[in-house]
Amino acid sequence: MLLGFWAAAFSGPAGETESCKTGRGPKTKLSEYGFFAGNLSDLKPATGVFTYDVNAPLFSDYAEKARFIYLPEGTQMAWNDSTAFQFPDGAAIIKNFYYPNDASKPDAGRRILETRLLIKEPKGWKALEYIWNVEQTDAMLEVTGASFPFSWRNAGGKVQQIQYVAPNINQCKGCHSYDGQFVPIGINARQLNRENSDDNQLLMWNKQGRLSLPPGFKPETGPRLSDYRQFSGPLVDRARAYLDSNCGHCHNPRGPAGSSGMFLDISQNNPERLGVGKAPVAAGRGSGNRKFGIVPGEPGESILLFRMENNDPGIRMPELGRQLAHHEGIELIKSWIKEMK
């Protein structure tokens, strides 16, 4: 039966490696899917594969990401105004994590470290983790993830060194969880409603037949997160966008951090739920001797900031996906709390 599904998900003319895509179960090597044409490390999308960009990216140790979606031929994504878009079986979301060899020299090339795949199967989403070889010729499936030292030269010319950690499959679900079910995170209207070069991403996909949109959809009135990296627009919008994408996938009533009672997703409008004057529940030493999640006007007394600034695995937030503090994010949230009344 399983084989039948995989055969059904098989798309494109047989015999071409590019068209193998998600059919016939998890592959040992990333190259076997045929998501990319030519040199694998060029990440040049093959037929059925296209890039996507988000408004408010998740911070992951300053790694850059090349993001792609694969849709089997003749299928499309279905709109949802608040949660992830619906995907046809056989679709895949492909996220490649890389660092520029030298961030101050755009031509110096890049080093791809991992590729995370989400594949839509009839019973739900499946996460697969691929680790790239040093030669950059391919990436291998690793169910337990990986951990290795890595260094790169950042935009300021400084060499940064970290123990890079690629998550295991269970850890993927530590974030990608809604009511206990595996879900994509960034593939929602508010993240994807953005202008890429000359066209709106959602309208473009709609024209290409890749996405259904509600009748009369207009990008300017649709849901949209602020791009917190741009220093424009209201501070509150940028801060809430940052919290939504970095925290809200866990910290919402139906996410893994639902038990904390602190909700940071964009739909949350109750100040107490956001942490204002809220005492911690199970923070332990994560409280940093501070009394409340957020103390308006006092970032230095807010647990939220303490956990963003700290790198201890028992204290830091998010729990997974970072070894380094995100200075720009910290400054943003600090300003927001400082101005809060």
List of residues contacting another protein (CB under 8 A): 143-144, 147, 163, 165, 168-171, 173-174, 177, 180, 253, 256, 258-259, 261-262, 272-273, 277-292, 303, 312-315, 319-320
What number of residues does the chain have? 341
Smallest separation, CB 129 to another protein (Å): 11
Pairing of strands 64-70, 181-182: unpaired
Smallest separation, CB 119 to another protein (Å): 16
* Residue (of 163, 162, 183) closest to 174 by Cα position: 183
Smallest separation, CB 39 to another protein (Å): 30
* Residue (of 190, 177, 201, 269) closest to 228 by Cα position: 190
d(CA 85, CA 25): 23
Smallest separation, CB 2 to another protein (Å): 15
H helix count then E strand count, the chain: 8, 14
Residues 293 and 302: beta-carbon distance below 8 Å: yes
CB closer to another protein, 103 vs 175:
175
* Residue (of 156, 175, 155) closest to 167 by Cα position: 175
CB closer to another protein, 66 vs 140:
140
CB closer to another protein, 241 vs 305:
305
* Residue (of 269, 330, 252, 334) closest to 301 by Cα position: 334
Smallest separation, CB 280 to another protein (Å): 6
CB closer to another protein, 172 vs 211:
172
Smallest separation, CB 300 to another protein (Å): 14
CB closer to another protein, 146 vs 203:
146
Residues 161 and 154: beta-carbon distance below 8 Å: no
Smallest separation, CB 325 to another protein (Å): 15
Backbone angles phi, psi at 73, to 5 degrees: -55, 135
Structure tokens at 167: 């998550």
CB closer to another protein, 238 vs 290:
290
- Provide the angle, in degrees to the nearest 10, between the axes of the packed helices 235-246 and 327-339: 130
d(CA 291, CA 276): 11
CB closer to another protein, 105 vs 291:
291
